Amino acid sequence: MLAEQWKTATGSALLHAATWRDSDAVCCLVDGERHLGHIVKADEHWLAFDATHLGGSGTGFRLLGCCTTITMAKYAVEQVFRKDRGFVARWQ
């Protein structure tokens, strides 16, 4: 989805086999070794979480924001790894 579009647009793959696993209410971005982030449906919105950093209180995942569409929420999670390209090797 977004990962594949970004890979095609840039001509390079930056996340180590990271892919989205989707259900009706929860979607997770994972690679072979890690849970990188997830989005959770909350009523008509999607909450985006970075699973690689703690939240502000030091417990739980870091909340990235509340989005109106699933596409925007996935994009928010993916942005964490576009900023730190060395963290994960390539997209799948």
Confidence of residue 2 (pLDDT cuts 50, 70, 90): low
Residue ranges of domains in the chain = 2-83
pTM strictly above 0.85: no
Tell me how far apart the alpha carbons of residues 22 and 64 are, in angstroms, rounded to a whole number: 19
Q: What tens digit of pLDDT does each residue of 42-87 get? A: 999 999 999 988 788 877 899 999 999 999 999 999 988 776 554 4
